[in-house]
Every structure is written in C-alpha cells, then in structure tokens.
Structure 1
Amino acid sequence: MSHLEPLNLPETDDAATWGEWVRSRSSEELDRARTLVDRLRTDPPAEALEVLRLWDHAAGHLGGVAASGSLFGNVHPDQAVRDVADAAEQDADKLSTEWSLDRTLYEVFAGLAEEGLDATSARLLEKVRKDFRRSGVDRDDETRSRISAIRDRLTELDQEFSKLTRDDVRSIKVAPDRLAGLPDDWLAAHPAGDDGLVTVTTDYPDAIPVRMFAHDQDVRRDIVIAFLQRGWPDAEPLLEEMFALRQELASLVGYDDWPSYDADVKMIGSGSAIPEFIEKIAAAAAEPMRADLDTLLERYRRDHPDATEIPLYDSFYYQERVRQEQFDVDAQQVRAYFAFPKVRQGLLDVTGRLFGLRYERADVPVWHEDVAAYDVFRGDDVEPLGRIYLDLHPREGKYKHAAQFTLTDGVAGDQLPEGVLVCNFSRGLMEHDHVVTLFHEFGHLLHHVLAGHGEWFRFAGVATEWDFVEAPSQMLEEWAWDPAVLRSFATNDAGEPIPVELVEAMRRSDDYGKGIYARTQMFYAAMSYWFHADEARRAAGEEVAPLSDRMVDLQRKYAALPYLEGTHMFASFGHLGGYSSAYYTYMWSLVIAKDMFSAFDADGPGDLFSDERLAVATRYRDAVLAPGGTKDAADLVADFLGRPYSFDSYSAWLAR
C-alpha cells in the first residue's frame, strides 16, 4: 500500500481561518473537477477505461466538496463557518446538476465501447449512463433549464430544513422539586438558575431522561410537547415546497411520482413496493404490538384506573416501569455501568478485536475540543487504513441526531478514507439505548473506512443501495447486547462489571416493546412515503390533506401510541430531507441485518469472540463491508450467507 496522508485541517480555533480553509479548499477541488470534465468534453481519451477514470476522479473531487460542506455545515461551532460550508455544498450540487444535464458529456459515455472493461468498470459505466438518463439530459432545453432550477432550489430547501431542525432547541423551566425521579448525576448537571428554576432543553441528553424518569406527569407532558413542536410552524412551508418540487422533478424525467423515481436505484426497486412493505411489517407487528400495549395498559391502570389508552407523554415512563417491575431492569441501575469514557474505549476495543483493527489516538487539529481523532490500522500494519473523528457531545449549532458524515472518500493509491461520527451523548453516564446507538453509528464508520480501498470513488465507502446501508450498522448493535462484550468495558464506580444476569434481563426487557417499536417505525415510513406520493395526486388535481392532518391520519393507522393533540412531529423529522420517501429503509435493512447475524448465531447463544465467530466476522468484513458498492447489496449478502437473504430471521425475532 502506498503511503497516503490524511487531510490537514486548520491548526487553529480561529473562525476566519477555518472559513477561508473551507472556501479555498472547496474552490480548488471544484477547479480540479472542472479541469477533468473539460478534457472529457473537448478531448476525451480513446480508451473507455481512461474516460471512466477521468470522470470518476472529477466526481471524487466534487463529492469531497459536498461531503466536507455537509459535515462542517452541521458541526462547526461558528455560524459563519457553517454558512461558508453550506455555500460550498450548494456550489458542488450546482456543478453536479450542470454536468448531469450536459448532452456533450452524455454522448461521450453513450458512445463508449465496453470492450476491455472488467466487471467493476463495466458496472460503473452502466451506472453513469443511468445517472444521465435519470437526470433528464435527453429533455429539451427548456425542461433541462427547469430541472436545473429545481435541483438548485431543492439543495437550498434541504439545507434550510436541516438548519431549522438543528437550531430549533426548545426548553421548559421546572422547579427542582418537580424533577424527582431523575438520576443524581443528571440533577447535579442541571442546577437551578438565578430564577430558582431548572432549564430542560429538547436536546437528547436532557429530554430523554426526563420523559423516562420524571415522576411528575406534567413535566413529562411539557417536555414531550416541546420536543414534538420543534421546527413548527416554519418547517411546513419548506416541506410543502420540497415535496412539490420533487414531484415535478420526477415527472419531468419520466416517472409517475417521486417514490418511483427514488426507488428505481434502490433494492426495493419500485415506489409501489414501499407501501406493500409497510403493510407487511405492520401486519407482522400487529399481534406483538397488541401484547405490548396490553401489558403497558395494565400497568398504567394501576395509577390511572379509568384509562382506555396510554398517552404518548406517559408511554416512555410507563414502559420503563414495566421493565423495572416485570423484567427487573432499572435503567438508572443499568446506566451506572455505562460511563461515557469507558463506553467509547470499549467500542474501539470490541470492534478492533472483531474486525482485526487497531486505533491509535491522533494528535491532530480538530474543529472543537470535544472531538477525538484516531488513525485506523489493520493488524500490525504501519500504514493506516484511514482516520476517524468522534464528535459525540451536544453543543449549540450542532447536528442534533446521530449520524456518520464523510470527510473524504478513500481510493487505493489516491486518498485515505476519513469519516466522522456525530452524536449527542452525555459526558457522564449513558442510557444503554445510547450505547446501542453508538455501536450502530460506528458500524457506518467502519463500513466507510473498510470500503475505502478500492479502485473507484463511485464505489467507495457506504456506496451500496441506500436501503441496505443501515443493515451493517444494525447488525453491529448485536454486540452491544452480549454479556461478555459488555462486561469487557461496562463497569460501575467500584470497578465491578455489569452482571450477566442483568444483561440477560435487559435483553428480555428489550424484547418487550418490539411490537410498539415496529409499528412506530411504520408510522414514520408511511409519512415518508405518503407525504411524497400525495404530491402526485395533488399534481393531478386531487385534493389532499394538509401535512399536519395527514400525519395524524397515518399515526392513527400505523402507530401503537395515540397522537398528542397540538403537536407536529413531522416538522422536526429530519429524515424527510435526506431519506425523502425512503424511511422504510431502516426496517428493510433490519430484516437483512437479522438474517446476516444468523450466521454468527447459527449454533445458538455463545461467545461472540470465539474463534469460530471471529472467522465469521472476518468473512463478513471481506464479503460485505470491504467491497463497498462494487456489487449489488443482494449479491454481497448472498456471498456472505451462501444464499439469498430471507424474512425468516426477522419474523422469528419479532415474534420472540
């Protein structure tokens, strides 16, 4: 492996320097991209392989600008730098649109002979040609001009929606004595202000413990309402315009609706298959949901005898009561074993052992003091596989959820992969759910780094079909439930590892609520799909319900828990931006993840670090993660399992 250096970030906290670095690097990368594409337009190489290399490198430069723009637009602590980064991302998207509608470029690829191309480069050519066709390059000048304007506006709308959901942090103020039930460390971190009241924000480390543990029902109600009001009312007109423009774009390039356009390049294949999948999961989860709700309502009626249903704001608290009383799992007891520094190191130790990796802390510039950088190596290699950054605590102006962002894509001999984990966890004790989330998101990071050593930028990193990308991360969650794995890092203040019996009880407890979870996910998936599918009906002259009303209808049809009057959850549902109509992806991927994990669990419960299972992990690493997008996801899974994936493992898990 040739020696490659990671990207050099500014060695200063100065916002002006950072802003200039983002601006100048973006400009340089876009110029490199333009130079390569100009050659393709005016003097393309005779060999098809060389044409593809020029295009792929141009796309690599362009993608790097979009990726770093998205990252720093979401994580840099200074608003001015975030604005520069957002502008860079817009510039990259505009240039991408310009290329996609360039008939001269399209003719270069349409006329390429395929002789001499290997399977992977032929796959690349096929995808490039499809990209051009889907872009509308064959439409007339007026249509292509409209497509360009739509795409530019969609980039702006996506950024505006993302910024709104990122920056709209709401809060309630509560007298300290009304926070009874909250963990001691949480209370210590939330002293009363000068007015004698404690401020509780809608950021996850504040809101989740309050809705789970606060004994005061009114406090629980107030924080849940505040949480579900984020983005409202400003998000609604942004989303309405976004959905309408997506529908117009899809129709201009020959599709019936946006879900059909979007699904055409995913595993699911067609837009009409999305509601079919939603109904399939909803039906499979119906009986588990009813059992979960019966258990929950029985417990709720002990405190509220006349209740006929459980209000949403009480559901989190009473699910926790069920887990305590019926499964002997107290989340406050559990979190005593999950101090953040131990969890972070444990994650590195576990994944290092599982995949034959080692992580070395890198003393390099970062954008905030909370960020930790690590170089990733395979075994005893001296050359790194890539670099990762862990940005794991909340702060003002930062992305509010959990995600892996790309800093650079990796290509062998050209550029190291660098990825960033962006989360919002407590600096102290963590809920186990957050530990699971950390393992999940780290799965994306591993996928990005391990798949960053191929020949093509197009297939680097998490470059499979979008409805498969969650499967490797969902499978890695399994290690966050294994007693031996957890005992390797989960210890309390006395240094005692978490008891095996407690972890087993946690697993049983987690099995409770799967029906509620699956139906909630189908509510989200239905919103994602029908908000877009309705636009086709609107465009055809039909009357469709406003977004708020449509959300309520879908919640009543699919969700396990009732709508909370006056709330507008969709206004902060950030997945309506990036995932558009494809939120079904999470459950689609989970079906595959459960099937893939069956290869590790073939002989029943056991040591996940046994020699046999480590051999399976190596095979999984090399068959599913390392290839990136060089094969269809279904083929990657079949290579690993030795058969096509099936619904059976998921069904068995859901019914358990």
Structure 2
Amino acid sequence: MEPLHLPSEASAWPAFVAERADTNLVRARELIALAKDGTPRSAAEVLALWNDCDIALGNAAAHVSVLAEVHPDEAVRTLAEGKQQEVSRLRTDRGLDRELYEVLAAVDAAGLEADAARLLGHALRDFRRSGVDRDEQTRARLRELAERATVLGQDFARNIRDDVRSIRIAPERLAGLPQDFRDRHPADADGLVTITTDYPDVIPFRTFAHDAAARRELMVAFLNRAWPQNDALLGELLALRAEQAELLGFVDWPTFDAEVKMIGSGAAIAEFIDRIATLAAPAARRDHDALLERRREDEPDASRMDTSNASYYAELIRREQFEVDAQQVRRYFDFARVRAGLLDVTGRLFGVRYQPVTDAPVWHEDVAAFDVLRDGERIGRIYLDLHPRDGKYKHAAQFELVAGIAGRQLPEGVLVCNFPRGLMEHSDVVTLFHEFGHLLHDVLAGSQHWARFSGVATEWDFVEAPSQMLEEWAWDADVLRSFAVDAAGEPIPAELVRRMRAAKEFGKGYQTGTQMFYAALSYRLHTDRPADITALVQQLQARYDVFEYLPGTHFHASFGHLEDYTSAYYTYMWSLVIAKDLFSAFDPANLFDAAVAGRYRDTVLARGGSADAADLVADFLGRPYSFDAFARWLEQVPEPVSG
C-alpha cells in the first residue's frame, strides 16, 4: 500500500483538493445507488457495499478537513471548505435515505461476526438519529438544519483562526520575559513592540511579564478574539441544534448528543460536572488563596484573582516555593531536540520507528513527514505541522488525512500545533506529547476492516484519555533526560524534574475548577440557550471557577470546542478520570515495560472503535474503570520545597 500522493507544486493543490473530493463523492453516490438496485445480496455483501461507501465518504472528507485549517493559500482553504459542505450534504442525504435504510434494516444479523454485527447496529442507530423514520417534511427540515450548521460551524472556526489581535507596548514593558522572546520582538519604527494573541506570544507573556497592566491588556485581546461576529453565529448554532434534537424526539441537544457517548445521558453531564467540581473545591480554594496571598506581596489591597494574573503568580509560587523557574527549565527544551525525543520515546514505548520522508510533498515548508514502521513494515504516515503562520488553525489538534483500512489504504494523520521555533516551555512539551498521543492512536488503530471503526473511532468522551495518559511520560526524569539538554549538552537534572513534578501538583485544583467552568458553559449553552451569552459566562465562571470574570471580555466567541465538542466539553475531565486509572497499570519506575505497553497498545489503541471504550479499558485493567485513582490524585497536597 502506498501513501496518498500529495501535490509537489503549489499550483496543483486546487485540482488535488477538488478531484479527490469529487471522485470519492461520485463513488459514494454510485455505491448508494448500487445498494438500492434491488439485487438480492447476502448480509456480508450489503455490509461490504456500506463499508465501501464509508471509505469513499471518508476519502472525500479527510483531506479537505485538514487543508481547510492549514493550507497557506486562502483560496485552497476556501475551496476545501466548499468541498466539506458537499461531503456533509451527501452524508445527510444518506442518513435520510429511506430506501437505503430499508436495505440495511432487512439484513439478517444472524450468523454475522461480532464486528460486522456491531457495524450493522451502529449504522441502523445512525439512521434513526438522522431522522430517517420521520415524515417527509421533517426530513426536509433536518436536511436544511444540517446544511446550515455546517456553514455556521465553518464560519465560527474561520473567525477564530483569522482573528489575530495584538497590543503594542514600549520595550521596557517586556521586563520579566526571556531574552530570546525579546530578541524575537524588536521595537518597530515607532519604538513599540507588537505582541499578538497567537500562542507563542500570549503564553509566555501572561506567564513572565512583570507588567500587570500589559498582561491584562493582552488577555482582554485574547479573550475577545472572534467577538462580536461569533456571538450571533453561536446563537444560531444553538438554535439549530435544539430544533434538530426536538425533531428527533429528544428533550434537548445534550440528551441527543450524549446518547452515543460513554456518559449515556444529558442529565448525567450536569451530575458529572458538579461531582468533579465538588471533589476539586478544597484544592481549588487552597490554590486560589495561595495565589492571592502571593499577589498581595505586590498589591496589598488585592482581593481576587483573574485570568490575567493567574499564570504569572502560579509561576512565581513554583519558582519561590518549589524552586522551579520556568525560564531556567525552558533552556533544556529546544524544539528540534524535543521533537526528536518525542519520536524516540513513543517509538520505544509502542514498538514502532519513524523514518523521515524528506522527499514527501507537503503543503508548507514547516511540515515534516515520517513513515511509521513496525517490525520493518510501514503501517502509516504522519505529518507534523508544528509552527504558527497566518491563516492556520490556532490551537493544537490531530487531523486524519487518510483512514487506515486493512489491506486497502494506509492510515495517515496530521498533527497541527503552534509552538515556537526555539526554546519551548515545558507546558508545550506536555501538549506535544498529548497531541501526539492522538496521532499514534489514529495510526495504530488504522488496520481495521470496517472504516467505521478505524483510527480514533471510540466514543467522543474517551478519545482524550490515551493522550492524557501519554502526558505522564513528559514528566518522568529518565524520559526527559534522554532528550532535554541545555546549550552545553548537559541533560536536565533529575532533581529539577523532581521539583517540577511537585510544582505541577500546585494548580491542579484551580485548573480542574476552570475545566468545569468550561464544561458547564458548553452544557448550559445548549440547555438554556441564553439571549445574553456573556451573562451566562459570568454566572458560570462565578460558580465553578476560582478566578473572577475579566470585565469586557467574551471568552465564548473564541471557545472553538463549542463548534466540534458542542455540549460535551466535559469529556476532557471524563477522559482524565479514565487516564489516571489507565496509568495505574504502569510501574512509574519502569515506564517502558514492554509487556504492559504492548498490552495497552494492542488492547486499547489498536482496536480503534471495534468495541465500546468501557470494554477496552476493562480488558486492559482487568476490571471496570473507577474514579479512585483520580480522586487520590486530586486529594494529594503538593509539598513545597522551600518557604
């Protein structure tokens, strides 16, 4: 099997985008028509046609989904967005096709192997959730809702991607920032320095800049990206989702959405949010009080903390009480070495090797391609697109370029991040390990027979768990010392890593509270559908977050997960509960234990969506997952080194 042939010339990209999408859309339509032509077929033959259609739709969709977010040419991004709409339209039409539904509903499941029976069950469930059993007028309205939601979602994401804001400040207001940051931000002809809301600027600035007013100004700009334009778009999206759920017989969107997730019901989302918030409350308040106490050393009259101060004072506490100075830590994390170390570590852990493909065509010179080899055989290809640029996706995510199908096509995935080119914060290293976990999951699960179960195809509230668990390797001293070295070649001291691990425990309480604020916002927006979204933001932040609302900001406008996760942002914390339990099977003194890592790879990752996530976890752990490991972690009080 050969990887997908990408264009080698810039001028060829539009034709590639259009032709691959169009060819596969035509193929999918042909397969749908063939399945409905009245020819008697066995159950296996019907499901084979369905699978071929899934493959064609996937091949029409995957490349346009990633290129719409990363291609440097705006015209190509726009073309890809148009093709996304065409794919979405055909998916909707297929889901509302009664003749096709009747073909699958007539399949006799007796005698089917377990995975084929699972595929049939999922397909019939999807038909029901699409509204195939509704009257013609309702189906027509559901089609309209789906098409409009696709356009709105694209507009919402594009506004976030394109709205890069900035502040301009005098050079002396850079006090506290690393020298390499200052070197990258020289004064312009007016004697001012521009700081943008892109991550390589905003993260170090809010962490190190001594100037509280400048931090606040930048955070206001950051929290106002895509506002006000996304306010109206979000309101319309919420209304469309609510109408869709109602037409399908559900009380609200979260109830509809949760039906196919581990959590099971919309009401359970609210219960989970409050359960975690209650567990985290003592640690969150302890963290907040420590931050406020430290702030009062600078501002005696301070009474509260907001997000413009949190990272800065958390860094001071870690430096003063745990003897961890992030500016000293970052000198061990040169981007090129970190990337190489990540590949070495994950290769060793999962028994794979990454071979650079230097002649592989890519969409931008920053992108690096690697073939993934196991036992000398190529099992997939990955692309790493890790630095920011204009028009590129602003967060960190993994995208599928080609779905892996056993014996038919190699899995190919793309990792999209926005890291600096030189020294990295250790938090960036953790993020890189996390996101790479998704990429590995996609490739290792790319040898399924059924397209529906290929790659990261588990329930949506489990997909973060493997990546969150992989973060643990970015905190291990032996792991870090294998690639984290300073300019003189000295590896990061094990004692420093020990203090880093102690310091990272500070803040877990308030971080959990903030995550529950985000989760509650994602959920309540879809149950309450408020006319004034900013007012709900303020209300929920006051209830769940220990940090006060920053006046004049509209966080929800750039909360990109409201477009893809919709009402289910709780999944990050749900997955973390499971991740802590998964990690309990590993020996912290021997993180590369081949037996455990291999069993985890084969039992959880490689199986993709071929079984329910709860069953995958139980197969690995030998028992159902529990909250115990997470609760123990949350209850542990960090021990300062000094002070």
TM, length-normalised to structure 1: 0.96
* 2:91 pairs with one of 96, 105, 127: 96
Q: Is 1:151 aligned to 2:137, yes or no?
A: no
Task: Check whether the contact 2:95–2:126 (CA below 8 A) recurs between aligned residues.
Answer: yes
Q: Which moved more, 1:28-37 or 1:41-50?
A: 41-50
Task: Check whether the contact 2:353–2:374 (CA below 8 A) recurs between aligned residues.
Answer: yes
Q: Residue 309 of structure 1: CA displacement? A: 1.2
What are the superposed Cα offsets for residues 625-651 of structure 1, whole Å, 9 maximum, x if unpaired? 000000000000000000000000000
Given residue 608 of structure 1, which amino acid in structure 2 is its aligned partner? L
Q: Is 1:443 aligned to 2:429, yes or no?
A: no
* 2:204 pairs with one of 188, 201, 209: 209
Q: In 1, distance between residues paired with 2:534 and 2:93?
A: 36
Q: Is 1:221 aligned to 2:216, yes or no?
A: yes
Q: Is 1:377 aligned to 2:369, yes or no?
A: no
SS at match of 1:272: helix
Q: Name the structure 1 match of 2:250.
A: 255
Q: Is 1:645 aligned to 2:625, yes or no?
A: yes
Structure 1 runs, 4 residues or longer, greater than 4 Å off: none
Given residue 197 of structure 1, which amino acid in structure 2 is its aligned partner? L
Q: Is 1:591 aligned to 2:577, yes or no?
A: yes
Q: Residue 63 of structure 1: CA displacement? A: 1.8
Q: Residue 290 of structure 1: CA displacement? A: 1.1
Task: Check whether the contact 1:44–1:51 (CA below 8 A) recurs between aligned residues.
Answer: no
Structure 1 gaps, min length 5:
536-543
Q: In 1, distance between residues paired with 2:429 and 2:208?
A: 18
Task: Check whether the contact 1:638–1:644 (CA below 8 A) recurs between aligned residues.
Answer: yes
Q: Name the structure 2 match of 1:276.
A: 271
Q: In 1, distance between residues paired with 2:284 and 2:261?
A: 29
Q: Is 1:496 aligned to 2:479, yes or no?
A: no
Q: Name the structure 1 match of 2:639.
A: none
Q: Name the structure 2 match of 1:480.
A: 474
Q: Residue 67 of structure 1: CA displacement? A: 1.7
Q: Residue 82 of structure 1: CA displacement? A: 0.1
Q: Name the structure 2 match of 1:426.
A: 420
Q: Residue 64 of structure 1: CA displacement? A: 2.1
Given residue 515 of structure 1, which amino acid in structure 2 is its aligned partner? G
Given residue 459 of structure 1, which amino acid in structure 2 is its aligned partner? F
Q: Residue 607 of structure 1: CA displacement? A: 3.0
The two structures, once aligned, show a CA RMSD in angstroms of 0.8
Q: Map of 1:137-176 to 2, 5 A cutoff?
A: 137-176=132-171
Q: Is 1:565 aligned to 2:551, yes or no?
A: yes
Q: Residue 314 of structure 1: CA displacement? A: 1.3
Given residue 377 of structure 1, which amino acid in structure 2 is its aligned partner? L
Q: Name the structure 1 match of 2:514.
A: 520
What are the superposed Cα offsets for residues 153-212 of structure 1, whole Å, 9 maximum, x if unpaired? 000001000100111000001111110111011111111112211110000001111111
What are the superposed Cα offsets for residues 215-261 of structure 1, whole Å, 9 maximum, x if unpaired? 11111111111100101100000000000000000110111100000
Q: Is 1:75 aligned to 2:39, yes or no?
A: no
Q: Residue 45 of structure 1: CA displacement? A: 4.9
Q: Residue 116 of structure 1: CA displacement? A: 2.3
Task: Check whether the contact 1:45–1:51 (CA below 8 A) recurs between aligned residues.
Answer: no
* 2:388 pairs with one of 390, 394, 402: 394
Q: Residue 304 of structure 1: CA displacement? A: 1.0
Q: Residue 545 of structure 1: CA displacement? A: 4.8
Q: Which moved more, 1:310-319 or 1:278-287?
A: 310-319
What are the superposed Cα offsets for residues 63-113 of structure 1, whole Å, 9 maximum, x if unpaired? 222221110000000000001100111100000000100100010011110
Q: Residue 115 of structure 1: CA displacement? A: 2.1
* 2:102 pairs with one of 103, 107, 118: 107
What are the superposed Cα offsets for residues 294-335 of structure 1, whole Å, 9 maximum, x if unpaired? 211111111111211123211111111001000000000010
Q: Map of 1:18-57 to 2, 5 A cutoff?
A: 18-57=13-52
Q: Is 1:621 aligned to 2:601, yes or no?
A: yes
Q: Residue 614 of structure 1: CA displacement? A: 2.2
Structure 1 pair 7–101 and aligned structure 2 pair: CA distance change class (3 A): same
Given residue 374 of structure 2, which amino acid in structure 1 is its aligned partner? R
Q: Name the structure 1 match of 2:184.
A: 189
TM, length-normalised to structure 2: 0.98
Q: In 2, distance between residues paired with 1:504 and 1:330?
A: 13
Q: In 2, distance between residues paired with 1:419 and 1:43?
A: 38
Q: Residue 264 of structure 1: CA displacement? A: 0.2
Q: Name the structure 2 match of 1:575.
A: 561
Count of residues in correspondence between the two structures: 635
Q: In 2, distance between residues paired with 1:556 and 1:125?
A: 46
Q: In 2, distance between residues paired with 1:45 and 1:340?
A: 59
Q: Identity of counterpart residues, as a percentage?
A: 61
Q: In 2, distance between residues paired with 1:207 and 1:37?
A: 49
Q: In 2, distance between residues paired with 1:225 and 1:353?
A: 43
Task: Check whether the contact 2:384–2:414 (CA below 8 A) recurs between aligned residues.
Answer: yes
Q: Is 1:318 aligned to 2:298, yes or no?
A: no
Q: In 2, distance between residues paired with 1:548 and 1:591?
A: 30
Q: In 2, distance between residues paired with 1:44 and 1:221?
A: 67
Q: In 2, distance between residues paired with 1:106 and 1:583?
A: 32
Given residue 447 of structure 2, which amino acid in structure 1 is its aligned partner? H
* 1:293 pairs with one of 282, 288, 293: 288
Given residue 13 of structure 1, which amino acid in structure 2 is its aligned partner? A
Q: In 2, distance between residues paired with 1:340 and 1:295?
A: 33
Structure 1 pair 55–191 and aligned structure 2 pair: CA distance change class (3 A): same
Q: Is 1:125 aligned to 2:120, yes or no?
A: yes
Structure 2 gaps, min length 5:
637-643
SS at match of 1:608: coil
Q: Name the structure 1 match of 2:9.
A: 12
Q: Residue 431 of structure 1: CA displacement? A: 0.4
Task: Check whether the contact 2:20–2:59 (CA below 8 A) recurs between aligned residues.
Answer: no
Q: In 2, distance between residues paired with 1:366 and 1:469?
A: 27
